[in-house]
Amino acid sequence: MIGNDIVDLRLAAKASNIFRRGYLQKICSSKEVKYIETADESYLAFWRIWTMKESAYKAFQRLHKFEPIFNPFAFDCDPQDSKHGNVLFQGESVSTLSIFNEFYMYSEVFSPDCQQRFFGSTSAFLMYLKNRLSLKEMPHFEKSKLGVPYLYTTQRNFNVSKTHHGHFQVFQY
C-alpha cells in the first residue's frame, strides 16, 4: 500500500477558499469538520485531513485498481496526534503519517515495504535511484491504464507514488 500527497500551503491559500459556504461539507464528515473548526489552526487542520484522504485514495486505487473517482467524502479520517492517523474506506483502514511546516503539508500511507521518501525533481530522483540500486540504465515513469504511476526498468518495475504541488514534489517508494 503506497500513496502520498503534498500541498504547497502558499499556493493553496491563493487557489482555494476552503472557508466558502458548503466547501468543507462536500469533503468532510461532521466529525472531520469539528476537528478542523476546533483546531488551533483550522487552515492547517483542513489540509492535514485533505492530504490524508488523497494519500489513502491513491493507495486504495493502486491496490483495488478502480477507475479514478472524486469522492474525498468516502475517506473517513481519524487523526490520532499531529503526525499519525487512520483513514477508513469501505470497511478497510490504513495508517497515515503527516509531516508539515509553514510551507507544506504532506501525508503518506504507512507501508512496511515502502518507507523511503525523496523530496525533489523527477530527474534528480531517477538519477539517485539509478546510482543507489546500481541500475544499468535510467529508470523511467510509466502509468497503468488507470493512471497509477510506476517505475520501469528492463530488469524490474518499482511501485512509486508521486505527488507534486506548487514548489514541492515527493516520491514514496
Residues that bind another protein (CB under 8 A): 7, 12, 15-18, 20-23, 26-27, 50, 54, 68-74, 147, 165
Nearer to another protein, 129 or 168 (CB): 168
Q: Distance between CA 173 and CA 160 in Å, rounded?
A: 5
Residues in the chain: 173
Q: Write down the least CB distance from residue 60 to another protein, Å.
A: 13
Q: Write down the least CB distance from residue 106 to another protein, Å.
A: 15
Nearer to another protein, 98 or 129 (CB): 98
Reference 8, options 106, 95, 87, 90; nearest CA is 106
Distances (CA, A) of 138 to 115, 121, 135: 22, 15, 7
Q: Write down the least CB distance from residue 84 to another protein, Å.
A: 23
Nearer to another protein, 62 or 165 (CB): 165
